[in-house]
Chains A and B, each alone.
Chain A
Amino acid sequence: MNPRYGLRWPASYPLALVIAVLALVPVGVLMGLASDSAELFDAHNLKVLTNTLLLMFFTVLGSVVIGVPLALITAYVQVPWRKLWLIVLAAPLAIPSYIGAFTLYAAFGRGGEIQQLLGLPMPSVKGLAGATLVMTLYSYPFVMLTTRASLLSLDASLVNAARTLGMTVGVSLWRVVLPRVATGIAAGALLVALYTLSDFGTPAIMRLDTFTRVIFVEYNAFGLSQAAMLSLQLLVIVGLVLFLESRVRGSKERPGRHLTLWPSRGQKWLMVLVFAPVILLSIVLPLVVFGVWLMREGTGGFDFSYAWNSAHASFLAALVAVILAIPVAHAAIAGRAGRFMERLTYFGFGVPGIVMGTALVYVGLQLPFLYQTLGLLVLAYVLRFLPLAVGSVRSTAEGLDPSLVKAARLLGASPREAFQRITLPLTIRGMVAGAALVFLEAMRELPATLMLGPTGFETLATYLWRVYEAGYFGRAAIPGLLLVLMSALGLALMLSGERRAEFDVTGK
């Protein structure tokens, strides 16, 4: 950076370093815990590993099969209400996958809601196939959005050249367009893989023994060291996926005119027919099931304090995350060492909630003043979702023209005044956006909340889980709908532009 400061650490470094080290605490704790464990790997473990990898593989495959064509359609095909279609197709992101799993599980199968309402016998949704279906339905938008962003950065003239040389539209899309967005697809696919690995609710409801589900079983038997061992194994896979993600580089092309395709009437109907089931299953079905339950059972059992608890804990997490994000983001801009520290805090995002929970329960037992306190739960949220805040804060801070600060300094402002009067007002937007994202992610977080919440502290997510476990499905309607609403707000925020860069992993 500035040569004059070449040897001096930027002011943000010490704080950022502390925060980065804090982000690594869960891993250290798990290693210590796992070292007590007798079983490193056994036959059941192998089955768990196989299930986890199969679920990941099939979910990624399904997401690519659905996501890439949808990306092509939303990017290039001219249909009425394009913006609306994009929002509808991205909307599954607004539904936590455990809600989807819960409602699909309740709707299908013998005696499920569909059979009760329509009298049609339905196959049940469970196991590997069921979990793959649910995870695909709720994670294909990752692939769709990253691929779409890559597609929009392409120049149409290559396709036009291919067309004049005699290729059909289909072949030119396949041979000229798709190879150039391979990195976009890969980025989305890796996000899907990460999401699938860390998801707890879906495998649990679909009764598929993946790492997350088995870790929860071990935790319930208080086999903490066994849970830690499994957590570390899961983290190795997560680390591998994160590593692959960091290798994905976008190729930059000179921007040009987008390709535009004009479908015939028949083609439009075909598209609707092919993709309507996706939306029906992922969005319409959960909302209808909740609606049915709401009408049948009313609002019984629901206490407004659950929503308040959710909001309260999430708000604290958002606040703390943004405060911690500021030094990290500034360190990341200041130099290479800072960027490394920032990378370390990203680790938490890859740590599944169930793993974070396991580690922090143990931390709590060692530090009784933290055990079963709101503080520990908030810490778990912060460690997990800090990268969301860092990303938002950094992207606005990067956009800040450094000459403005220099000008202020030249005019006699102290570094502190320059920060307060120039940097802060110009980056507040990113902070608010980052805080909102942390807030909404914390609202829908389930496993860590189950493990770490204070006694008597029921949130929307934990209440939903409790009625699921007790079999009082009808009572899930209100918390379920509220969670969907909250997540929808988060999605709106993402699509509103602040977060576009987050999905466009391939480049700025």
Chain B
Amino acid sequence: MQRRAFLHNLAAVGAISCMPIFIQRSLAADGGAVSVDQLPKLEGDITLYLGRGEGGLYENVLEAIRKRNPKLNLKIRRGATAALANSIVAEAKAGVRRADVFWAVDSGAIGLVSDAGLARPLPADLTSQLKPGFQYPQWAPVTGRIRTLPYNTDRLTPEQIPESVMALADSDLSIGWAPAYASFQSFITAMRLLEGEKATEAWLRGVSRQATNYAGELGVVMAVERGEVDLGFANHYYTLRLKNGKPNAKVDLAFTKNDAGCLVNASGILALSDGDLPINFIRYLLTKEVQAYLASEAYEIPLANGVKPPQGLPALDTISPPKVDLTQLADLRPTLNLMRRVGVL
């Protein structure tokens, strides 16, 4: 089949500047990821803070881990990713630690926690299972996602969608968004970094006049498909999932060019307490079984070595994501303040 390379402009922690990284998808290299059979059994108590947003699929992964490890007492606290990241920091400040592992749908939230010095270092043999460019000393990216503009194919043609996300504020399109969702907030953070505070504020004000709020981005994509709005802001996989369940769905993906609108981001996990259990728990998420499941069922981009990306992704070499250091996305507080000031939160 076709050999595709897709360009990410992600920089490793500690890198001086952003550097483009090629991620090769090779059908031959299918032996990189570890299998669950090679992993030690998990035993004991562990508390996971799970930034929700993926609906049932992460739950299925966790359920499978539970089934495989009957002696594991896994407790899960679910909440919005940003809320959990903030709770972890507030808990640490108050001298309370409840979470052993934090699985976030967004690297901004991960950065918020690791910036607070709460993440425990990961062993090199774990991080080396990840594709080059996704190896961080303190957290493990689990899957990748791209910001997209899902649009209603009955109401819009691709030509009607501006190439610049900033131009949307001046368009007369009706827009669906989920401002409370962590990936959206990272997208705004990226815009803040790329375009400046003022332009972002003006953009938020402009778009909010024509925007409808939804609780999550699946809701955004569903609203686009129903024709409630012309287009929306959402991670790529929601649209692919919807189209998988409903092949004639009236929704397709558009990408802006070289701006926050097509930011590439990653879900990630980090350990908050010492010991082998959190680390070994993280290993499970990087196995080829889990990675392949998330790719085929959740349409996320697997980041462990040698796992195939999902079907139905558009030609990714045509996409030009912005140059944003993922760790900078942790600077969430000014974003929240800005969104609050504009009144979109």
Q: Which of A191-199, A217-225, A339-347 contacts B (4 or more CB under 8 A)?
A: A217-225
Chain A residues whose C-beta falls within 8 Å of the C-beta of B55 in the assembled complex: 470-472
Tell me the smallest distance from the CB of B338 to a CB of chain A, in Å. 12
Pair B83/A466 contact, Cβ less than 8 Å = no
469-492 of chain A: CB within 8 A of chain B: 469-472
Near A by CB (< 8 A), chain B positions 291-345 give: 336, 340-341, 343, 345
**Distance of A180 from chain B, by nearest CB (Å):** 46
Q: What is the chain A residue whose CB lies nearest that of B76?
A: A456
Interface of A is mostly: loop
CB neighbours (8 Å) of B180 from chain A are 217, 220
Q: Does B52 contact A (CB under 8 A)?
A: yes
- Interface positions, chain A 200-220, Cβ under 8 Å from B, are 207, 209, 217, 219-220
Indicate if the CB atoms of B215 and A468 lie closer than 8 Å: yes
Q: Kindly list chain B residues whose C-beta atoms are within 8 Å of the C-beta of A222.
A: 83, 86-87, 89-90
A219 to B215 alpha-carbon distance, docked (Å): 16
Interface stretch among A93-101, A364-372, A432-440? A364-372
* In the assembled complex, B82 has its CB within 8 A of some CB on chain A: yes
* Complex contacts, B222 vs chain A, CB 8 Å: 111, 471
- In the complex the two chains form, is B83's CB within 8 Å of A372's CB? no
Query: B226, A220: Cβ atoms under 8 Å?
Result: no
**Interface residues on chain A, number (Cβ under 8 Å):** 31
For the complex, is B77 an interface residue (Cβ under 8 Å from A)? yes
- Determine the distance from Cα of A413 to Cα of B61 in the docked complex, in whole angstroms: 66
Provide the residues of chain A in CB contact with B128, threshold 8 Å: none
Per-position 1/0 for A445-470, Cβ under 8 A of B = 00000000001100000000010111
Distance to closest chain B CB from A127 (angstroms):
10
Instruction: With A47-B343, A456-B76, A469-B215 as known contacts, state yes or no: A365 contacts B86, CB within 8 Å.
Output: no
Confirm or deny: B32 has a beta carbon within 8 angstroms of a beta carbon on chain A.
no
Report the minimum CB–CB distance from B183 to chain A (whole Å). Answer: 14
Q: Give the distance to chain B from A472, nearest Cβ to Cβ, in Å.
A: 6
Judge if B7 is at the interface, Cβ distance under 8 Å.
no
- Complex Cα distance A366/B96, Å? 9
Whether a CB of chain A sits under 8 angstroms from the CB of B98 is: yes
The residue that A371 contacts in the complex, of B96, B215, B341, B343, with Cβ under 8 A, is B96
Q: A110-B227, A219-B83 are in contact. Are A224 and B90 (CB under 8 A)?
A: yes
A-chain residues with CB within 8 Å of residue B79 when the two chains form the complex: 220
Task: Annotate A95-131 by CB proximity to B: 1 below 8 A, 0 otherwise.
Answer: 0000000000000011100000000000010000000
Q: Is B218 an interface residue (CB 8 A)?
A: yes
B191-233 residues at the A interface, CB under 8 angstroms = 212-213, 215-216, 218-219, 222, 225-228
Do the beta carbons of A44 and B47 come within 8 Å of each other? no
Q: Determine whether the beta carbon of B228 is less than 8 Å from that of A371.
A: no
On chain A, the residues within 8 Å of B71 by CB distance are none
Instruction: Decide if A301 is an interface residue (CB 8 Å cutoff).
Output: yes
Partner of A466, one of B78, B94, B212: B78
CB distance from B270 to the nearest CB of A (A): 17
Verify A470–B98 contact, CB threshold 8 A: no
A44 lies within 8 A of B343 (CB)? yes
Report chain A residues within 8 Å CB of B218: 470-471
CB contacts under 8 Å to A, within B219-259, are 219, 222, 225-228
Minimum CB–CB distance for B185 against chain A, Å: 9
Tell me the complex Cα distance, A301–B57, Å: 12
Shortest Cβ distance from residue B235 to the other chain A in the assembled complex, whole angstroms: 14
Residue of A nearest to B81 (CB): A220
Please indicate the chain A residues that have their CB under 8 angstroms from the CB of B215 in the complex: 468-469, 471
Interface pair B95/A471, CB less than 8 Å apart: no
Instruction: Say yes or no: is B68 at the interface (Cβ < 8 Å to chain A).
Output: no
* Closest A residue, CB atoms, query B90: A222
**B274 close to A (CB within 8 Å):** no
Closest to A458 in B: B78
Give which listed residue, B77, B341, B345, contacts A455 with CB less than 8 A.
B77
- On whether A221 and B56 interact (CB within 8 A), knowing A111-B226, A365-B91, A456-B77, the answer reads no
Report, nearest first, the 4 A-B pairs whose CB atoms are least far apart. Answer: A222-B86, A111-B226, A220-B83, A455-B77
List 5 contacting pairs A-B, 8 Å CB cutoff, sorted by A: A209-B343, A368-B95, A371-B94, A470-B52, A470-B55
Residues of B bordering A, CB below 8 Å = 47, 52-53, 55-56, 75-80, 82-83, 86-87, 89-91, 94-96, 98, 180, 212-213, 215-216, 218-219, 222, 225-228, 336, 340-341, 343, 345
